């Protein structure tokens, strides 16, 4: 087994986005800091799951362990894998110290050591430990003092002591610790479990008043979310952002995609567009990202000849962006609807994305029934008018709708106005009034 | 030494071939022979902005475009209408031959959003034509749309009030539309790469109420004629 230990010395401060440095330092290890650290570690564990299925963390001294023995081959060796993990940590904005060792205890110790922190085998580990100072051992202060008083200065000297002597002089945990340090005995860790749904929270030290200041923590949340999605090998089509305010109910924003995705950069673009039109009632003091439903990843499959998939994808992303900025219902398509009453002759429909090569047969409008010519523009509501002077064509009688209280009895005409506009008017045979309903554009 | 001598003969031939008068843009045939004959490339400028300035709404300003829109849509490209002033009436558009599945209506809340949506859609190659109805639009914004249309290779149509004709505009084509007894009078106010100042009479009855999908003769990306 090969363990990567990531020590996050500044976690409490960095996890509180936008923190004023002084604000959190005086309350070192307070209840609140521990809570913040646990939330951050939970998010990081989900993020780390993409590289390893065995994850563990310790809250007090924020440490995150990943078992990499099984993943190194998959990710082209431990050097390449470590480089990737560290690059993402930098992107997330956490200071970190990584160490690699055959046991989790040793890896944790090496994060405090200076010099070489990557040790792959047990023999190398023993050699590396030899010269390290005694103080690095995570043992009770009394034990360390006793060892120091015995004239021991280096870890190597402690390891050379006979096991029986240590067992007699110190608590049994001491011997167990040393064995785990050298990877000589099993070193079980509580395995962190990947949750079924995703919910990540991020608290701010001070209230955030501008949407630009929200973008950094958002970007981090989305990157961690991307890690979770990769870990589960799934995509989302919908996720929710919750903004917590002081003395105000939560503001909730749902981001929807037209096709499942798991690209943090794409998510961020959508969120950014949405933020443009978002009006929050009060400053924000915490942020939560939540996703409940996941789908299998949409793998972009190109067909053998065409490159249709790419424009279609471009279109999907564009529509997502438009929706994020203009509103969920801002884009619609038109559909014919079989109803004789003109105002019900169409419906708005969700846009359906078709490949460029979709056959024209499937595109040809379905001529449900032959109807007389219709105008291109319809008024939202028929408008009362004076009887028109010049009727050019008509009447076309429409009587329909007796079954749903929308009963109409109308005579339709094509008329011309003084300005030369051609309009579609009807004479309501029940009330005797004239109405304008469309423009012949 | 290196200078190639061009004979007068060659020059004349070049001019007669019309090589120097090639349209600055590929064109999408409008479906109206008189109009196509007077537009460079033989149709609406693809990858550019065309401004239509109708005297009023409801004089045939959409029917003028429908054949071209139908052709573009049947060739696989989407059509976007951004914040139309009235409800686009689906049965009429279907009668005009437009495949409704390729038409997207985009609603916006203000002029700024409309401009943004127009720029985004023009820039996306999936869209063949983008129609917009700005009440007022600044010169520099028309230029932005012009660049977006060039990038996306799409036809941008701006419906503007007739007063806009007095202003300068970087649009490649500007037409004034007036109703006549028989149809539509089209004044070519500005035409890059072609002749301005012409007045054409179009009969809108020429639009047949059949689908244009059956007869896609011209690919929208290729210029016709030279």
Give the model confidence (pLDDT) of A89-145 as tens digits: 998 889 999 999 999 999 999 999 888 888 888 889 988 988 899 889 988 888 999
Q: Pick left, alpha or beta for residue A95 (phi over 0 → left; psi -120 to 50 → alpha; otherwise beta).
A: beta
Chain centroid offset of residue B100 CA: 19
Instruction: Tell me if B117 sits within 8 A of B82, measured CB to CB.
Output: yes
DSSP for residue A107:
H
The per-residue pLDDT of chain A, averaged, comes to 84
Query: Min CA distance, B219 vs chain A (Å)?
Result: 13
Asked if residue B176 is part of any domain, the answer here is yes
CB contact under 8 A, B120 and A322: yes
CB contact under 8 A, B60 and A440: yes
Tell me what pLDDT residue A420 has: 79
Residue A24 confidence (pLDDT) above 70: no
Sign of the Cα torsion B83, B87, B90, B93 reads negative
Q: Give the span between the Cα atoms of B190 and B168, in whole angstroms.
A: 10
Nearest C-alpha in B relative to A356: B76
CATH number of the CATH domain containing B167: 3.40.50.300
- CB burial of A389-404 (b: ≥16 within 10 Å; e: otherwise) equals eeeeebebebebbeee
For A79, A106, A115, A117, the CA distances from A124, given in Å and listed in that order, are 17, 12, 14, 11
Q: Which of residues 108-167 of B touch A (CB under 8 A)?
A: 108-109, 113, 116-117, 120-121, 124-126
Sign of the Cα torsion A314, A316, A317, A319 reads positive
Query: Min CA distance, A391 vs chain B (Å)?
Result: 14
H/E run at residue A251: strand A248-261
Mean local confidence (pLDDT), A174-183 = 90
State the residue range of the domain holding B47. 24-215
Q: Which residues pair with A414 in a beta bridge?
A: A393, A424
Asked if residue B14 is part of any domain, the answer here is no
Which residue among B78, B93, B216 places its CB closest to the CB of A376?
A: B93
Q: Give the span between the Cα atoms of A325 and B117, in whole angstroms.
A: 9
Q: How many separate domains does chain B show? A: 1
Nearest C-alpha in B relative to A415: B58
pLDDT band at A406 (very low <50, low <70, confident <90, very high): confident
pLDDT band at B89 (very low <50, low <70, confident <90, very high): very high
What is the dihedral angle through the alpha carbons of A426, A430, A433, A439, rounded to the nearest 10 degrees?
-20
Provide, as residue numbers in chain A, all residues whose Cβ is less than 8 Å from the Cβ of B178: 420
Which residue among A360, A362, A377 places its CB closest to the CB of B86?
A: A377
CB contact under 8 A, B73 and A363: yes
For A307, the 3-state DSSP assignment is: coil
CB contact under 8 A, B211 and A335: no
Q: Which of A124-138, A182-196, A392-406, B175-189 has the lowest mean pLDDT?
A: A392-406
Query: Min CA distance, A285 vs chain B (Å)?
Result: 30
pLDDT band at A370 (very low <50, low <70, confident <90, very high): low
User: CB distance from B103 to chain A under 8 Å?
Assistant: yes
Which residue among A314, A322, A334 places its CB closest to the CB of B100?
A: A334
Provide, as residue numbers in chain B, all residues whose Cβ is less than 8 Å from the Cβ of A319: 104
Asked if residue B9 is part of any domain, the answer here is no
Q: Which of residues 19-78 of B touch A (CB under 8 A)?
A: 55-63, 66, 73-78
Per-residue pLDDT tens over the stretch B105-148:
999 999 999 999 999 999 998 999 999 999 889 999 999 999 99
Q: Who contacts A312 (Cβ-Cβ below 8 Å, separation ≥6)?
A: A353, A355, A356, B126
Provide, as residue numbers in chain B, all residues whose Cβ is less than 8 Å from the Cβ of A375: 58, 89, 92
What radius of gyration, in Å, describes the C-alpha atoms of chain B? 18
**ipTM exceeding the 0.90 mark:** no
Mean local confidence (pLDDT), B6-15 = 58
Q: Give the span between the Cα atoms of A237 and A235, in whole angstroms.
A: 7
Residue A361 confidence (pLDDT) above 90: no
Q: Give the span between the Cα atoms of A227 and A262, in whole angstroms.
A: 9
Q: In a mutagenesis test of the B interface, which of A317, A365, A374, A385 is the best target, namely the one with the most B β-carbons within 10 Å?
A: A365
Neighbours of A131 (CB within 10 A): 12
CB contact under 8 A, A419 and B179: yes
CB contact under 8 A, A314 and B125: yes
Tell me what pLDDT residue B23 has: 54
Query: Min CA distance, B97 vs chain A (Å)?
Result: 7
Residue A392 confidence (pLDDT) above 90: no
Asked if residue B128 is part of any domain, the answer here is yes
Per-residue pLDDT tens over the stretch B51-88:
999 998 888 899 999 999 999 998 888 999 999 999 99
Asked if residue B5 is part of any domain, the answer here is no
What is the DSSP code string of B161-218? -GGGGGS----SEEEEEEE-SSSEEEEEEEETTS--S-EEEE-GGGS-SS-GGGG--S
Q: Give the span between the Cα atoms of B199 and B32, in whole angstroms.
A: 14
CB contact under 8 A, A335 and B58: no
Query: Min CA distance, A265 vs chain B (Å)?
Result: 18
Backbone angles phi, psi at A187, to 5 degrees: -130, 70
Which residue among B120, B179, B211 places its CB closest to the CB of A421?
A: B179
Residue A242 confidence (pLDDT) above 90: yes
Asked if residue B168 is part of any domain, the answer here is yes
Query: Min CA distance, B76 vs chain A (Å)?
Result: 4
Give CB contacts under 8 A, 24+ apart, made by A232-235: A232/A49, A232/A194, A232/A294, A233/A297, A234/A262, A234/A294, A234/A295, A234/A296, A234/A297, A235/A260, A235/A261, A235/A262, A235/A294, A235/A295, A235/A296, A235/A297, A235/A298
Which residue among B90, B97, B108 places its CB closest to the CB of A326?
A: B108
For A143, A151, A161, the CA distances from A158, given in Å and listed in that order, are 12, 10, 5
Asked if residue B3 is part of any domain, the answer here is no
Neighbours of A304 (CB within 10 A): 4
Asked if residue B75 is part of any domain, the answer here is yes
Tell me what pLDDT residue A331 has: 92
pLDDT band at A355 (very low <50, low <70, confident <90, very high): low
Half-sphere exposure of B14 (CA within 13 A, CB side): 7
Residues of chain B with pLDDT > 70, as a percent, come to: 79
Residue B164 confidence (pLDDT) above 60: yes
Which residue among A357, A373, A380 places its CB closest to the CB of B95?
A: A373
């Amino acid at each position: 087994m090969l363990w990567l230990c990531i020590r996050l010395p500044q976690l409490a401060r960095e996890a509180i986005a936008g923190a004023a440095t002084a604000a959190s330092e005086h309350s070192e290890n307070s209840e609140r800091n521990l809570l913040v650290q646990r939330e951050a570690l939970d998010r990081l564990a989900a993020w780390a799951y993409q590289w390893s299925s065995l994850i563990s963390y310790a809250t007090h001294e924020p440490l995150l362990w990943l078992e990499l023995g099984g993943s190194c081959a998959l990710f082209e060796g431990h050097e390449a894998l470590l480089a990737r993990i560290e690059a993402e940590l930098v992107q997330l904005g956490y200071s970190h110290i990584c160490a690699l060792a055959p046991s989790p205890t040793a890896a944790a110790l090496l994060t405090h050591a200076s010099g070489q922190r990557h040790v792959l085998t047990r023999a190398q580990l023993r050699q590396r430990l030899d010269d390290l100072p005694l103080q690095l051992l995570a043992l009770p202060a009394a034990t360390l003092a006793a060892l120091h008083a015995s004239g021991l200065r280096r870890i190597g000297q402690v390891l050379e002591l006979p096991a029986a002597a240590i067992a007699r002089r110190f608590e049994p945990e001491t011997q167990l610790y040393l064995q785990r340090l050298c990877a000589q005995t099993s070193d079980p860790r509580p395995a962190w479990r990947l949750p079924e749904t995703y919910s990540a929270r991020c608290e701010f030290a001070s209230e955030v008043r501008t949407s630009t200041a929200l973008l950094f923590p958002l970007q981090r949340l989305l990157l961690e979310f991307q890690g979770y999605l990769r870990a589960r090998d799934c995509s989302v089509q919908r996720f929710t952002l919750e903004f917590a305010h002081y003395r105000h109910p939560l503001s909730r924003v749902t981001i929807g995609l037209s096709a499942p995705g798991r690209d943090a950069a794409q998510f961020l673009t959508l969120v950014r567009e949405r933020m443009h039109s978002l009006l929050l009632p009060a400053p924000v003091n915490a942020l939560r990202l939540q996703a409940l439903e996941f789908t299998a990843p949409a793998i972009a499959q190109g067909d053998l000849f065409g490159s249709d998939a790419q424009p279609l994808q471009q279109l999907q992303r564009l529509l997502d962006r438009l929706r994020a900025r203009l509103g969920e219902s801002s884009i619609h398509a038109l559909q014919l609807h079989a109803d004789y009453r003109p105002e019900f002759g169409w419906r708005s429909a969700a846009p359906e994305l078709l490949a460029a090569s979709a056959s024209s047969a499937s595109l040809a409008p379905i001529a449900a029934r032959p109807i007389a010519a219709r105008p291109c523009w319809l008024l939202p509501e028929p408008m009362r008018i004076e009887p028109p002077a010049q009727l050019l064509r008509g009447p076309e009688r429409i009587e329909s709708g007796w079954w749903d209280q929308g009963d109409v009895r109308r005579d339709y005409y094509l008329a011309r106005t003084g300005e030369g506009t051609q309009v579609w008017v009807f004479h309501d045979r029940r009330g005797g009034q004239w109405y304008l309903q469309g423009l012949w554009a | 030494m290196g200078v190639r001598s061009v004979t007068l003969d060659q020059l004349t031939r070049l001019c007669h071939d019309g090589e120097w008068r090639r349209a600055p843009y590929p064109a999408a045939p409008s479906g109206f022979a008189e109009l196509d004959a007077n537009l460079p490339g033989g149709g609406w400028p693809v990858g550019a902005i065309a401004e239509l300035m109708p005297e009023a709404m409801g004089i045939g300003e959409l029917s003028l475009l429908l054949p071209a829109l139908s052709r573009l849509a049947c060739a696989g490209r989407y059509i976007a209408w951004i914040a139309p002033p009235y409800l686009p009436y689906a049965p009429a558009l279907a009668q005009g031959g437009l495949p409704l599945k390729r038409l997207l209506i985009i609603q916006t809340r203000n002029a700024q959003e409309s401009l943004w949506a127009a720029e985004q859609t023009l820039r996306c190659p999936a869209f063949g034509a983008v129609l917009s109805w700005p009440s007022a639009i600044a010169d520099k914004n028309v230029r932005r749309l012009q660049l977006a249309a060039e990038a996306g290779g799409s036809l941008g149509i701006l419906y503007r009030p007739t007063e806009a004709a007095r202003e300068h505009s970087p649009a490649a084509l500007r037409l004034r539309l007036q109703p006549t007894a028989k149809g539509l009078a089209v004044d070519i106010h500005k035409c890059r790469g072609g002749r301005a100042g012409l007045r054409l009479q179009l009969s809108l009855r020429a639009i047949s109420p059949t689908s244009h999908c059956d007869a896609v003769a011209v690919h929208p990306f290729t210029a016709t004629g030279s």
